[in-house]
């Protein structure tokens, strides 16, 4: 009974307080049992009593550890990995958790950490990390996080259910679909032991040349983004028992949608006025707060009209406290974007950033590049009086509250045997396929190529996709076409096709009845433009598919343009249905598509989309 032990350590305590905490502990032990109608305290009061009792019993070092969300290397809690030794001085993820007493950990599948192999493996990994945390403090299980947005930001792939991008959902205009997607994603993540998803993206992608947000955003219109963000928050966090939901996190405050620089590699400067910010970027975050969002992630951006000092928003007190806490009234968890990104390291060193972030009003420190340095810097700031322990308590209190609300405290472990019955189920995949069928957008059909009058004899499918997972590439689309009776050949040409690859594709096109080309970001990948132009010159019917960002359609004058907003297999299956006339295209552009790089000339306007 950790709460009662903490009471013992903090005597004297009033008898009434002891009774309240005791009831809180009983509530914690039986979270699903309804309290007697006449028995105070309320659930909120029980939560507060438990939080205070635990907080008062924690030493400072443990409190600071709760603020840290660590990157770990390997696929299991007990796997020795040389990078853990290099970065942390220990060998295994479990030892990282125990040495630094961290409050959270985050999984990646493509950043070198190599955490994700399969749903079953991830569930076992999560249980192992929770056991490690229990060995340090039985009453403080971990927040285990991931970025599972859908589309190109997908950490757990098949056999788990995969999802279209947020912009694809924006094309459907359906809040119901957004909520369904989040509910399915949340249930599957929780079955794998993940209890915090850094989604949805609440950025309004108002800059068509944004190099980092793009199709991760629902739309360029604040009202549409707001509606879909609120729907996803409710999908992740509402319905069922708290132990079957996940914390969602709206990102990236105060708004990354107008950035022209990738904050992973530089420090973007947003030149909007404060009035423009309130009209464009603010509404989705306000909607997320209204929907009860558990956490909000910061942006490593300069926003001079909101903070004229020019410091990144992550470490800006006027933005994090003045706007988010005081003006918007947000009292949940604020989490930094990765502290290893250049956007926040451009101006400050790794020892200073965690302290500045806490001074600004942040709670969780995500992925400090030097975990020991981050922890020691915060401890030193408290000991010197720069930070007060009361300030640390504020953040720990919010993190403990999040853990209570999501049922992490009572059910940190998952049933590994149940993973196949809960993750990637036929019902989940059918639900996501159905909503993805609402997203395909036909932008241009001047040659009346679509829908195909009959199954073409030979089809060449070329272009981009996931080079690691063949299921999300031209291979998947070719397989889907073959299932309709055509002979289809896949020729993945990659992001930057060489002249030899272009020549190979042109030669292959000569012997086909139809070419389908998947494109990805023609604004910067000029070799893909050359490939599409050369294929059009063959005289064969060519269906150009913007398989990541719809803005591609403004860069090459192809007579047939379709936008899927994603190259995930689920999106490519919906594309095939549209090609063959099995379904009518229903998607409407959630953004304006300009002519090339000129935002003043709109080639395809918001809400444009052909059907039949």
Q: Is there a contact between 287 and 230 (Cβ–Cβ < 8 Å)? A: yes
Q: What is the pLDDT of residues 308-351, one digit of tens each?
A: 999 999 999 999 999 999 999 999 999 999 999 988 898 999 99
Beta carbons of 522 and 491 less than 8 angstroms apart:
no
DSSP sequence for 521-546? -TTT-HHHHHHHHHHHTTTS-EEEEE
The answer, yes or no, to whether residue 131 has pLDDT greater than 60, is yes
CA distance 50 to 102: 20
Alpha carbons 69 and 15: distance in angstroms, whole number: 37
Instruction: Return the closest-CA partner of residue 165 out of 174, 154, 155, 175.
Output: 154
Question: What global pTM score does this model have?
Answer: 0.91
At 350-402, the pLDDT tens digits run: 999 999 999 999 999 999 999 999 999 999 999 999 999 999 999 999 999 99
pLDDT of residue 24: 41
pLDDT per position as a tens digit, 584-610 = 999 999 999 999 989 899 999 999 999
Q: How far apart are CA 509 and CA 539, in angstroms?
A: 9
How far apart are alpha carbons 376 and 384 in whole angstroms?
12
- Is residue 337 among the annotated active site residues? yes
41 pLDDT tier (thresholds 50, 70, 90): low
pLDDT at 10: 36
Query: Under a CB-based contact definition with an 8 Å cutoff, are residues 127 and 92 in contact?
Result: no
| Active-site residue flag, 139 | no
Instruction: Give pLDDT tens digits for 55-91.
Output: 999 999 999 999 999 999 999 999 999 999 999 999 9
Strands of the sheet with 542-546, listed across from one edge:
441-445, 560-563, 542-546, 514-519, 458-463, 487-492
**Cα atoms in the 13 Å half-sphere on the side-chain side of 200:** 41
Per-residue pLDDT reduced to its tens digit, 235-277: 999 865 677 899 999 999 999 999 878 778 789 899 999 999 9
In this predicted structure, the answer to whether residue 491 has a pLDDT above a threshold of 70 is yes
Degrees, nearest 5: CA angle 145-406-390: 80
335 φ/ψ angles, rounded to the nearest 5 degrees? -115, 140
**Across all residues in the chain, what is the average pLDDT?**
91
Q: How large a percentage of the chain has pLDDT more than 70?
A: 91
Q: Which of 337, 437, 552, 592 is catalytic?
A: 337
Q: Which of 56, 114, 264, 513 is catalytic?
A: 264
Please count the other Cβ atoms lying within 10 Å of the Cβ belonging to residue 74: 21
* Distance, CA of 46 to CA of 26 (rounded, Å): 9
Q: Among 45-54, 175-184, 270-279, 570-579, where is mean pLDDT lowest? A: 45-54
Distances (CA, A) of 246 to 141, 155, 174, 250, 517: 14, 16, 22, 13, 37
Domains in the chain, ordered, with CATH? 1-57 (no CATH), 58-418 (3.20.20.300), 434-604 (3.40.50.1700)
């Amino acid at each position: 009974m950790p709460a009662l032990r903490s009471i013992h350590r903090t005597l004297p305590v009033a008898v009434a307080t002891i009774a309240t905490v005791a009831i809180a502990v009983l509530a914690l032990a039986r979270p699903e049992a309804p309290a007697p109608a006449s028995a105070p305290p309320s659930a909120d009061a029980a939560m507060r009593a438990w939080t205070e009792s635990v907080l008062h019993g924690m030493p400072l070092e443990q409190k600071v550890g709760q603020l840290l969300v660590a990157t770990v290397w390997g696929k299991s809690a007990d796997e020795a990995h040389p990078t853990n030794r290099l970065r942390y001085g220990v060998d295994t993820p479990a030892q990282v958790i125990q040495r630094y007493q961290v409050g959270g950990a985050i999984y990646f599948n493509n950043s070198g950490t190599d955490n994700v192999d399969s749903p079953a493996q991830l569930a076992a990994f999560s249980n192992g990390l929770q056991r490690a945390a229990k060995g340090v403090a039985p009453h403080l299980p971990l927040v285990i996080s991931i970025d599972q947005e859908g589309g190109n930001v997908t950490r757990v792939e098949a056999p788990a259910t995969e999802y279209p991008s947020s912009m694809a959902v924006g094309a459907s205009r359906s809040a119901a679909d957004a909520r369904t997607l989040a509910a399915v994603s949340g249930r599957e993540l929780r079955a794998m032991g993940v209890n915090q998803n850094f989604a949805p993206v609440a950025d309004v992608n108002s800059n068509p040349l944004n190099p980092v947000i793009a199709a991760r955003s629902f739309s360029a219109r604040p009202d549409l983004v707001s509606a879909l963000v609120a729907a996803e928050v409710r999908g992740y966090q509402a319905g069922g028992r708290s132990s079957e939901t996940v914390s969602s996190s709206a990102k990236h405050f105060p708004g990354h949608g107008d950035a022209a620089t990738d904050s992973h590699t530089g420090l973007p400067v947003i030149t909007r006025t404060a009035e423009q910010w309130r009209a464009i970027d603010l509404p989705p975050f306000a909607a997320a707060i209204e929907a009860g969002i558990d956490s909000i992630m910061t942006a490593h951006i300069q926003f001079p009209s909101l903070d004229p000092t020019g410091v990144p928003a992550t470490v800006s007190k006027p933005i994090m406290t003045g706007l988010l806490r005081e003006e918007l009234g947000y009292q949940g968890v604020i989490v930094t974007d990765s502290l290893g990104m250049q956007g926040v390291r451009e101006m400050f060193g790794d020892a200073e950033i965690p302290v500045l972030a806490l001074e600004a009003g942040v709670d969780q420190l995500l992925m400090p590049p030097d975990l020991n340095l981050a922890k020691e810097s915060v401890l030193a700031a408290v000991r010197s009086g720069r930070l007060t322990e009361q300030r640390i308590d504020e953040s720990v209190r919010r993190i403990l509250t999040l853990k209570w609300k999501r049922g992490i405290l009572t059910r940190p472990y998952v049933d590994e045997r149940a993973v196949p019955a809960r993750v990637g189920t036929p019902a989940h995949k059918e639900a996501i396929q159905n909503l993805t069928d609402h997203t395909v957008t036909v932008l241009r059909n001047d040659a009346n190529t679509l829908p195909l009058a009959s199954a073409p004899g030979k089809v060449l499918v070329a272009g981009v996709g996931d080079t690691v997972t063949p299921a999300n590439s031209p291979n998947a689309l070719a397989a889907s076409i073959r299932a309709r009776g055509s002979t289809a050949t896949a020729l993945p040409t990659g992001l930057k096709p060489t002249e030899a690859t272009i020549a190979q594709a042109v030669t292959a096109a000569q012997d086909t009845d139809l070419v389908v080309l998947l494109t990805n970001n023609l604004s910067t990948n000029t070799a893909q433009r050359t490939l599409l132009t050369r294929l059009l010159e063959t005289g064969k019917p060519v269906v150009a598919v913007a398989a990541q960002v719809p803005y591609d359609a403004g860069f090459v004058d192809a007579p047939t343009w379709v936008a899927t907003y994603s190259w995930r297999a689920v999106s490519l299956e919906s594309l095939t249905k549209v090609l063959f006339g099995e379904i009518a295209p229903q998607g409407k552009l959630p953004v304006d598509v300009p002519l090339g790089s000129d935002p003043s000339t709109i080639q395809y306007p918001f809400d444009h989309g052909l059907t039949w």
